[in-house]
């Protein structure tokens, strides 16, 4: 029987530690884990000890928010009932989604859109003329 989704810290066999909302599922006799908005949480330490936490997306080069991993790739899972951690996670997810919505696309109305070769030519002409 598959449970409902829950907040969880996962330690992968690769050594990565991830915090996410997870939903286990069965498919073709395999147990898979669906990760929703997985993040990496790092402690920021100061002279007096832990000062705070740094939250980053698990995968930084994608805008996807859902990932599927095989349970065989998970070393251990620990369900989280830590309200502070869950609220920190939810706040981070809301803020990152808001940042994506407010991000404007580059258009020609904003100015000249060129390429590296054109910029290189222009800079070489300026350099040669000086």
Q: Is residue 60 part of a domain?
A: yes
Percent of the chain with pLDDT over 70: 85
CA-wise closest residue to 71 among 19, 13, 7, 9 = 13
Kindly indicate the confidence band of residue 104, based on its pLDDT and cuts at 50, 70 and 90. low
Q: Is residue 122 part of a domain?
A: yes
Residue 3 CA to residue 71 CA, distance in Å, equals: 14
Domain count, the chain: 1
Q: Is residue 1 part of a domain?
A: no
Kindly indicate the confidence band of residue 1, based on its pLDDT and cuts at 50, 70 and 90. very low
**60-91 pLDDT per residue, tens:** 888 889 999 999 999 999 999 989 889 999 99
Under 8 Å between Cβ of 65 and 34: no
Half-sphere exposure of 78 (CA within 13 A, CB side): 9
Q: Is residue 99 part of a domain?
A: yes
The pTM is what?
0.67
Under 8 Å between Cβ of 26 and 37: no
Q: Is residue 18 part of a domain?
A: yes
């Amino acid at each position: 029987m598959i449970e409902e989704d829950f907040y969880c810290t996962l330690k992968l066999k690769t050594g990565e530690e991830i915090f996410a909302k997870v939903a286990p599922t069965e498919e073709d006799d395999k147990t898979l884990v669906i990760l929703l908005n997985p993040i990496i949480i790092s402690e920021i330490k100061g002279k007096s000890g832990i000062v705070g936490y740094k939250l980053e997306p698990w995968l930084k080069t994608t805008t996807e928010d859902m990932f599927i991993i095989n349970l065989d790739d998970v070393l251990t899972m620990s369900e989280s009932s830590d309200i502070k951690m869950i609220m920190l996670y939810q706040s981070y997810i809301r803020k990152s989604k808001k940042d994506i919505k407010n991000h404007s696309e580059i258009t020609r109305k904003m100015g000249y859109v060129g390429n590296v070769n054109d910029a290189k030519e222009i800079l070489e002409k300026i350099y040669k003329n000086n």
